[in-house]
Structure 1
Amino acid sequence: MVCHCNTLESKKPRARDLGIPFDGVPGKYNAITDVDGIQVGFSTIIEGDSIRTGVTAIFPRRTNSDRSQSPCFANWFSLNGNGEITGIHRLAESGLLTCPILITNTLSVGICRDSLIRWFLQKNQNCPVDALIDVCLPIVAETWDGYLNDYHVFSVKEEHVFEALNNAEKSNGFIREGNIGGGTGMICFGFKGGTGTSSRKVDDLNYTVGVLVQANFGRKKQLIIAGVPVGKEMLEMGMNISAVPDEDAGSLIVILATDAPLLPHQLKRLATRVSLGLGKLGSISGDSSGDIFLAFSTATISNVPMMKTAEFLPNDQMNPLFAATIQCVEEAIVNAMIAAETMVGYNGAQTNNHVEGCHHRLNNDLNNVVHPHFYIFIHVIQNDYAYNLAISSCHLATGILPPRKKLFVNRNARLHNLEERFKHQTLILNEYLEKVMRLI
């Protein structure tokens, strides 16, 4: 089976819908497409029991009648360079992004690069040389999907690249996430990962920041969500059932867009802040991970003969954009994991054990609205904060510091016991919640 997917409105709940407390206010779609003019398309390839890959296409601006792109100021940052983005040296030299962006798997970078150029030439039969310059060194990024996808086959073909580009041209603002496009075969923090997106409205400046990620990095024990050490807690509960090597291998590609008027050096500053979003999730950007980020601005560059002018924000006005970037990256990666579904791939049962067991546990423990451990940990943290506040108030008033409450002592085992009793219906819901809150 070959599944070719365009950007359609998803009915799946996203991380924010499940009550995970992210900072900031998202745009209409909570997606990179909240930055006006951006279009995203996919081609997803699922064949037999071993092909799990695809292509993601991003248009920085709506295409002109000749499929050309008005240039955008752009720059990039490599947190750890064990990866590839083609055309990046020209982008850094010129400070301009002049063509669509493609994201795929590691071994399909070449075919995507060549096919993007061929797609442009087919749309422009009488293309002048000066127009070709803008697309002859296209931007193609990659992450490794070799655990779920049979990389010996080289499944991505020209037709898939064309399909992703054509789908982007006719896309709307909704973006599907998870097992789609270039993210189809990706794994993140030991769970099924893939494509994710998020946006923030920067009300102080009346601008928008949006990101799209292809998430394929991290170890389970590192995962932190909204400050909660979810991965470590799950391992302590005996959920280390991965059959895929537990190593910080893979990569992360982040494409960041904003309509704020920024110059290339300012966009590099924005791209570096992506790293802090990874840090909030617990990533250390391991040695074999290619964590590479590209940022661009869709603000208009005037096109006056012999002279181009551009407005830009002062550097001291960029802090709200920094905060929005960090928030978007954190949420987009979690969105990718929440949207991704169990996938059996290359080498069958070995990969299935890893993805199916762990991903279902992710859904059960994070997404279940009745009694997920995730929300229990949130309550623990909130209760601890309230207790610390009470201690501080008492100390300020009396000068006496009361003994600290002992938190987390045998907590996991006791919470697990309560959960098992609830599952086996020896506790009703109200009793279960009351005992949990007493334990907390």
Structure 2
Amino acid sequence: MRARLRDLGLKVGYLPTGPLNAITDVAGVRVGHVTVIEDNPHVLRTGVTAIHPLNVPYWEETVFAGFHNYNGFGEVTGSHWIEETGILTSPICIGSAFSVGVLRDTLLANPQRNGIDERLHQPMAGETFDGVLNDGWHGPITRSHVEDALAAAKTGPVEEGAVGGGTGMMCHEFKGGIGTSSRVVDGPHGSFTVGALVQSNYGNRKDLIIDGVPVGRHIGYDITDSPQRRDEGSIVIVVATDAPLLPPQCRRLARRAGIGLGRVGGFGSNRSGDFIIAFSTANRLPFQDTGIVGGLKMYPNEEMNDLFRAVAEAVEEAIVNSMTAAGTMQGKDGTVVHALPLDRLVEVMALYGRGPQTEKVKV
């Protein structure tokens, strides 16, 4: 049975988590998965993950957002509109590089299929490449899969690991996929939550770091093999908060998500698509913005440091959860991507004073 990092008696960071330790700790945020695992006529290990920013249909209200391109070898549709306006006008769908087109097209048509005839949004769809395990050249993801993921989105606990868009992904040469985490910031203006959800598919084994511990150096290929020695790969990071941020502040938050990625050992290699979308649910905007919007709220820039720490910690833990939750998977051509061995992880972390044991080695 796989586990989350904290189920193992381990953690990263200092700030407290939300009750679910998930992006859905931000009120109204909903997540849905569709997982596609088939062996005939083609070997499919793929799926779709959908994130709704609010608890209402997106053709009713929208939110402020920011986008950061840590390294651009990949695709996130709709990012130009966020750069232009600072407004996220659709759910965020993430999946396979083979399927980003159908994700985008389905999001584009979705309002019309629900009786909204006028096109007023730019669909946001992101991808990472699952071709190590998934025979994606046959285009297995359909509009129905995307619509089902959108319809399945709900609040509450979020399934992690080899599910949804993360089904066929690998991270630091272990099985990866979907991971999530959250942090709560208490300040003079109240309590606010920052949540992160990742689709992890990047990284070399030797670079893997968890809570400052060089875990990847202790779990060599003699312990857990890898079908592919690589530096390349990609990650899509979605950040949500209920702190009242304006678009430039959302961009600032998105950039700090890269700190969490770096802490785990991602450095944005040349052929890596590392993309971050951050949105705030505090200012809810009418979908048809034909009038002046009043009553907007703005968090003080001088007090954003705790939010920066929160997003770095949440992203760091979300990436680790994407690995600890994912089991070993066999895919196309018999390729096997092995799970991060949890017993060995606990042993390595204990050597450095992490977890229930406190004895440290000299480093």
- Superposed CA deviations along residues 167-190 of structure 1, whole A, max 9, x for unmatched, are 01xx23111000100000000001
1:243 aligns with 2:227: yes
Question: Which amino acid letter does the alignment assign opposite residue 336 of structure 1?
Answer: S
Partner of 1:142: 127
- Superposed CA deviations along residues 332-364 of structure 1, whole A, max 9, x for unmatched, are 01111011011000110xx22xx23xx2x6223
CA RMSD across the alignment: 2.1
- Superposed CA deviations along residues 226-268 of structure 1, whole A, max 9, x for unmatched, are 1110101222x84362222x11122000000000011111111
Alpha-carbon contact 1:270-1:321 (below 8 Å) kept: yes
1:159 aligns with 2:144: yes
Question: Which amino acid letter does the alignment assign opposite residue 330 of structure 1?
Answer: E
Alpha-carbon contact 1:228-1:378 (below 8 Å) kept: no
User: Superposed, which structure 2 residues align to 1:14-413 within 5 Å?
Assistant: 14-23=4-13, 24-48=15-39, 50-64=43-57, 68-124=59-115, 127-129=116-118, 132-134=119-121, 137-168=122-153, 171-204=154-187, 205-235=190-220, 238-239=222-223, 241-244=225-228, 246-301=229-284, 306-309=291-294, 310-348=296-334, 351-352=335-336, 355-356=337-338, 359=339, 362-367=341-346, 372-378=347-353, 407=362
Q: CA deviation at 1:147?
A: 0.1
Give TM-score scaled by structure 2 length. 0.92
Deviates most, 333-342 or 43-52: 43-52
Question: Which amino acid letter does the alignment assign opposite residue 86 of structure 1?
Answer: T
Q: What is the distance in 2 between the residues matched to 1:305 and 1:272?
A: 31
Question: Whose helix proportion is higher, 1 or 2?
Answer: 1
- Relative to 1, partners in 2 of residues 1:374 and 1:97: Cα closer, same or farther, differing over 3 Å? same
Alpha-carbon contact 1:61-1:69 (below 8 Å) kept: no
Give the number of the structure whose alpha-carbon radius of gyration is greater.
1
Alpha-carbon contact 2:61-2:285 (below 8 Å) kept: no
- Report the 3-state secondary structure (helix = DSSP H, G, I; strand = E; otherwise coil) of the residue aligned with 1:298: strand
Q: Percent identity?
A: 43
Question: Which amino acid letter does the alignment assign opposite residue 239 of structure 2?
Answer: L
- Relative to 1, partners in 2 of residues 1:35 and 1:180: Cα closer, same or farther, differing over 3 Å? same
Q: CA deviation at 1:84?
A: 0.7
Deviates most, 334-343 or 297-306: 297-306
Alpha-carbon contact 1:69-1:98 (below 8 Å) kept: no
- Relative to 1, partners in 2 of residues 1:305 and 1:238: Cα closer, same or farther, differing over 3 Å? closer
Give unpaired runs (5+ residues) of structure 1: 1-10, 385-405, 409-440
